[in-house]
Every structure is written in structure tokens, then in C-alpha cells.
Structure 1
Amino acid sequence: MRKLLLIGLLFSVMYSCNTGTNEFLVKGKLENADGKTIFLSEYTESGPVTVDSAQIDKKGEFKLKGNTSYPQFFMLRTAPNQGITLIIDSADVLKISGDFEDLAMTYEVDGSENMKLVKELDKQLQVSLNKIDSLGKIYQEFGTENEIDSVKKAELDDEFKTIFNTQKEFSKAFVDKNVSSFVSMMALSQQIAQRVPVFNITEDLAYFEKVDKALFEKYPNSKDVLSLHKFIEQIKNPTQQQQPATSFGIGNEVPNITENNPDGKKLSLSSLRGNYVLLDFWAGWCRPCRMESPNLVVNYNKYHKKGFEIFQVSLDQKREMWTDAIEKDKLGQWNHVSDLGYWQSVHARAYNIMSIPASYLLDPEGKVIGINLRGEQLGAKLMEIYGF
């Protein structure tokens, strides 16, 4: 699952004997795969779309084809929520090997410079994750057998900081060296532990800007690059962002929302009255929304015990993509609802939502005190409210 964070799977290649210059080929040989089906999916605004699928033969071999005119993210899936992320260019012919039952941890890819960089990036991250797992076990041992003393806790915290700083320095150098590669977007999306992003959009904005500038100049028509570019522009120019609905300005009370959560239970925005609430419109297919997820988690963990709540309304069309994003981004601790209506969502239309992410910060009486606060702006407003 770690390999599927924030970007989905990329699997694409070019058929060397085919006249279509944008056609790619993905072929491979996998263990423990006889008779099983493998899927190649592309992410779109309405959710993942299957580009091709194949039944794996007795030798474990398969072939998948598709088209792309520039590097793009694809997902090679062995199950709905399992697989690997690939970056595929129009000239690529990818050859995959590994174990079907544990593809994310065993895969190898030949035939792509982009995927060589992905493996380099992933290898170092895995080293860091293994060290973090070891620290976690020590924390658990002290938590169940002994009361951890302040000295030991400080030592463990220092070890975590060392691991984190080592990973961050590696990732910074990696981005500097490969700034015009699609892999740099994967680097910006890394998490070293649950809810701990390697790159923070506030502290590391310069790196996001650097990648945005290089990729936007090189691939101005790429939907992935355009999504990143729009997100960076919103962060840099918050006053120029489109307001969710001019009829609900500062000081206005917003209408109630009652809708199903992922378990089919009705939840109401009005039930959170008495608390400060971030009403956030988002979707699993929305890259800028997903890039903001770590910031939401940090603020929720910091202020929830003081009464801060989050009420997220998804504009997803497919339930699987909605719930998968909640799981991957570790957002399950707060309120989620959706009518799975996409842009025709009753709630999006009621609030005149024209683009996402879009949000309102509400006071305990349900009145608007902030619009489209993200990154540093949201943290600053909550600090103003709670005093820390």
C-alpha cells in the first residue's frame, strides 16, 4: 500500500513494431499469477479508468497496451487497492517482473529511465520506513510494559528526527538532480510515516515551485502537471482563488448538509455546532486536494481535543476511489459524506462549488470566518483561534 500513496499506478510503453508513435506496451512475467487478471488504469477526474487488462498465462506472462503523448501516471493493479505506480512515456517499453501476491514489494522494471529513478527513490524511502518501524516497536514495548521515561522518549524522538532529516536531505538532493522529471512529483508526495510528509507545502514551498516551473515549461499540456501548477498558484495567491460561493461570505451562516458516510450512515453538518468546523469539498481524484491532506491531518491532531472538527464532502463518482483516498491519506478520524454525484452533487450545487479544493471555516454558530484557507493560512487562523 505504501507504493500507492497520493498518485496511483503508471504503466505504459511503446510498441517498437507499431506505427502508432504514442502507443506503449507493458509486458511482464510474474510468479504466482497463473490464470489471474492484471489491470492497467489511468487516473481521471471521475476516477480510475481501466486502459487495458489481461489474463496472465501459465508461464506468468502478460501484455498490456495503451497510448500517451507524454509522461503520465498509471496504476498496475493486481487487486482494487493493490499494485504499483508507474510513470510511462510514449517511447517506453516496460518489462515487469515480481510476485503477483506481493507486487509492491517485489517488482522490478526494465526499459524506462523514469522507473529507474522511481526505484532509486523508493529504495531510500523503504530504508527509512524500516527504521521507523523498528522505532515504533520500541515505543510499543515501553507503552505496554513500562512507563516510558522522559530521557528514553527524548532519545527515541532524536532518532526519529535523524531518520527524517536523512530522508529529507536525500529527497531534496533527488529533486534538485531530477527537477524536470515526473519522478520529482512522486518525491514531493512522499510520507516517511503515517501522516508525516517529507515535504511540507509551507516550509518547502520553494521545492514545490521549482518542480512546478520545470515541469510546466516542459509538459504544459499534461493533466498531472497542470493539476500541480494550479495547486501551487492557489497556495501562492490565496486571494485570487475562486470563492466557493459568493452568497456565503464572511459572517454568513451556511446551509446544513445531511448525507451518507462511507458506511451508509447519515451525518449532518449541523450536529457539529458548538465547535469550529472546517467544511471541505474535495475528491479522491483531485491531486491538489490530496496534497493538502497531510496539512489537514496535522491541524486536526493538534486542535481536535480543543474542539476542532473537519466535515469533508466528496465530489467523487466512484465509492471505491473515495474510500481508497480516505484510507491512503489517513483521513478516517473525521467526518466524511458524499452522494457520489461528481460535479452534479446536490451539495456542490447548493454551495455553488465550481472548483476544488474549496472550503469554509465555520465558527461554533455555523457562520463563515474563513474561505479557502489552506497550508500556512489554515494553520495561522487556527493558531489565532486556539492561541497555540
Structure 2
Amino acid sequence: MRFFLLMFSFWTTIAFSQSATVQGLLPTKFAGKPVQLTLMNYETRKDRKVQEVVTNAKGAFQFAIPLKEPLIYSISVADSALVQVLAKPGDVINLQVKRDDIVCTGSQDTQYLIDYERNRKNVFDKYLKRTYDSSAVAVKSGDKARIEYWNVEHEKASENYKAELATWVEQPFFINSLAAVHHSMRWHSDNDIKLMDQMVAIFQKKYPNTELTRQLVNKVNATKRIALGAIAPEFTAKDTASHTVDLKKYRGKYTLVDFWASWCGPCRQESPTLVRLYSKYKDKGFAILSVSIDTEKGRWANAIKKDGYTWENVSELDGYSGATAALYTVTAIPNSFLLDKDGRIIAKNLRGKNLEAKLSTLMGQ
């Protein structure tokens, strides 16, 4: 009997260590609503729903997650994103939603994720909300000068946004937590490589052979692959007529690899500038290869026609999960890479007057 009890205790401990519990309490207005648990994949961006439950009359829910290593999940209510949680084997995570705030106990890493998203939203509102709203008004008015002005202002605001967010991320408590993977996999630049290398060293020591560490290592390598001065990764993709287009054929020209989509307002605002610059420099050694993040061929083709794109335009029609977007670690648009005649990346995300000034210098006029 003693042997049986010891073995029962042993296997119970093993089973507990191979799972985590996430339980939460929502406002009662969400009683009877479905709650989804989705495993996040930052590398492929193909997240996978793993469980769904329905809240009880008090708005409570619970997930029991089979788990062998730390992983990040997203919790949604009625298909509307609520919060990300970082679950480790043995965790019992409690979430309580109060108006616009979420209180977490049982997981410091999850609290870091909540704090990060709260801070990110505040920084977004501080720098980018105004430029997005003003750009939309400018586009509706059709005033090209105002559109150009707000494009430039948006670039400045984006840099300020990234810089202020980075100061929060660089805090020791955050970069020592796997929660930092959530930031590094979504936001990156050449300036982030040093910090990301530091995180890799930490996680390979603390969490070796785990999926999140593997994804981070791959992300760092991919970021270095598209750093300034690197030869742009080769790719092939199909145009709207299903013809294969190869980046290699653009060697010998200054080429703008431009990631965009029909639904992307800032991308479409930039269209008149791209059309004008292409017309001005296409016979002087400048080319554009646009890569769409669209998922619907009809919308993609209509946008090309409406905006007057006469250069080659390709897409895998798989959103951010497309092979080319993944190769260039594109997680937000507009996003562009200017290549020299040898295919080397010489600038990133130049828009409006900045792109025009760069091309004028390169073309000697």
C-alpha cells in the first residue's frame, strides 16, 4: 500500500508539472459567452486555437492546459482579443477583468505582458493616434500636400514610438522574462539586434531547448539577414497573372522592395508618390517590386489598377504568413527595402520626401 501511495504521489506530481491552469473572472455581461485559448506562433504568425469554453453565470471560466514548457497564449472573448498569458508547467494563473484593467496573480510573466501591452497602447496614443487620424482625414480630402505632410509626420511619430517603447523593454526585469519574446518577435530594427542577442544569451541559459527560445533565435538571425548592408534575401513569387517573378532579375538597378496591401491606408496614401517617382526614374536605373500582404486576389488586383501601379506586383495571398513576408520579417506595413545595384540593402522604410531625396542623390539629380 505504501508503495502504491508513493507511486500515485509521484505520477500526480508529474502530471501537475506537465500542465497549467488559467482561470478568470469577467464582468457578468459576458456570462454565457465563449472564451477562446489560442497558442501564439510568432514565427509563422499562424496562431492555433486549442480550447474553447463558455463562461458561467458569474462570468468565470477555466482552462486546463497540457504543457511541457513555457508558451504564450492569447485569450479572446467572443473572438475579441482580451489578453496574452505566459504559462509555465505547474502555473495556476488567475485573471480578473475590471472595466479596462486586468489584474493577474499566479504569474509574474503574464503580469509583465499585461503591463507591456498597457504601456504600448499609451505610447501609441501619445505618438501615432493623431497621425493615423489626420492621415485619414487628408486622404478623404484628396489634398496631396496634406497627405504628404502627414506621411512625413507619421514617419517621425513612428520613430518616437519605437524609441520610447524600447526604453521600457530594456528594463532588466523585462528582458530577463520570456515575456520579452512577445515584444522582440513583433517589433524589431537594426538597433534592436544588440538587445536581442542579449536576450538570446539569457534564454539559452535559462530556457534551453524550448520553443520560445528557438523562435527568438530564428528571429534574431532573420533580423540580421535583412540588416542594412546585407544582401537582400532572394525570393520568387507570382504576380496577378500567376507569372513567377524573381528578385534576381533586378540586379543592376536600384530597387525598392515595397510591402503593402489594398487595405493599408498609409500604403495607399504613398501610392501617388511611388507612381511619380517610378515615372521619373524608371529609365534611369530605378525599379519597384511590390509585395502585397493581401489575402484576396480581387481586392489586390483592383487596388493595383486604381492606384496606377505599372511595375511588377507579387503576392502569396497569405497575409503576414506569406513566405516573402516571413523571409523579410514583415509584421507591419508599410515596410520597404531599398537595394543597390548589387542587391544590397542600403535603406529601409523611406517614404515621401525622404525617398525622393535618396533617389535624387543616387541618380545624381
**TM norm structure 1:** 0.55
Aligned to 1:328: none
Alignment map for 1:237-248 (pairs within 5 Å): none
Aligned residues: 288
Aligned to 1:23: 19
- Summarize the Cα distance change of 1:385–1:225 in structure 2 as closer, same or farther, 3 Å threshold: farther
> How many Å apart are 1:240 and its aligned residue?
11
Aligned to 2:238: 257
Candidates 310, 316, 321, aligned match of 2:290: 310
Aligned to 1:117: 112
Specify the code of the residue in structure 1 equivalent to 2:51.
Answer: D
Candidates 200, 217, 220, aligned match of 1:212: 200
Aligned to 1:336: 315
Specify the code of the residue in structure 2 equivalent to 1:41.
Answer: T
Candidates 298, 304, 327, aligned match of 1:357: 327
Aligned to 1:78: 77
Matched, 1:127 2:122: yes
Where in structure 2 are there 5+ consecutive unaligned residues? Answer: 1-11, 260-266, 279-287, 300-308, 330-335
Matched, 1:34 2:31: yes
Specify the code of the residue in structure 1 equivalent to 2:62.
Answer: K
User: Share of identical aligned residues, percent?
Assistant: 11
Q: Which has the larger radius of gyration?
A: 2
> 2:205, 2:154 → 1: CA distance?
43
> 2:37, 2:195 → 1: CA distance?
31
- Summarize the Cα distance change of 1:134–1:39 in structure 2 as closer, same or farther, 3 Å threshold: closer
Candidates 173, 189, 207, aligned match of 1:201: 189
* Alignment check: 8 A CA contact 2:196 2:220 kept: yes
- Summarize the Cα distance change of 1:233–1:88 in structure 2 as closer, same or farther, 3 Å threshold: same
Matched, 1:224 2:212: yes
> How many Å apart are 1:187 and its aligned residue?
3.5
> 2:154, 2:315 → 1: CA distance?
34
> 1:92, 1:227 → 2: CA distance?
22
* Alignment check: 8 A CA contact 1:22 1:90 kept: yes
Specify the code of the residue in structure 2 equivalent to 1:169.
Answer: T
Report the aligned-residue RMSD. 5.5
- Summarize the Cα distance change of 1:214–1:68 in structure 2 as closer, same or farther, 3 Å threshold: same
Alignment map for 1:148-297 (pairs within 5 Å): 165-172=163-170, 174=171, 176-188=172-184, 200-236=188-224, 257-258=238-239, 276=255, 278=257
> How many Å apart are 1:128 and its aligned residue?
2.0
> How many Å apart are 1:52 and its aligned residue?
1.7
> 1:77, 1:312 → 2: CA distance?
28
> 1:154, 1:311 → 2: CA distance?
22
Specify the code of the residue in structure 1 equivalent to 2:317.
Answer: S
Which whole-Å deviations, capped at 9, do the CAs of 1:130-165 have from their partners, x for residues lacking one? 323674499579968x998xxxx9999999877765
> 1:380, 1:138 → 2: CA distance?
21
> How many Å apart are 1:211 and its aligned residue?
1.2
Where in structure 1 are there 5+ consecutive unaligned residues? Answer: 1-15, 191-196, 246-253, 260-265, 281-296, 324-332
- Summarize the Cα distance change of 1:185–1:35 in structure 2 as closer, same or farther, 3 Å threshold: same
* Alignment check: 8 A CA contact 2:75 2:83 kept: yes
For residue 338 of structure 1, give the secondary structure of its aligned residue in structure 2. coil
Specify the code of the residue in structure 2 equivalent to 1:64.
Answer: F
> 2:361, 2:108 → 1: CA distance?
49
Structure with the higher fraction of residues in helix conformation: 2
> How many Å apart are 1:38 and its aligned residue?
0.8
Matched, 1:96 2:95: yes
Aligned to 2:49: 50
For residue 64 of structure 1, give the secondary structure of its aligned residue in structure 2. strand
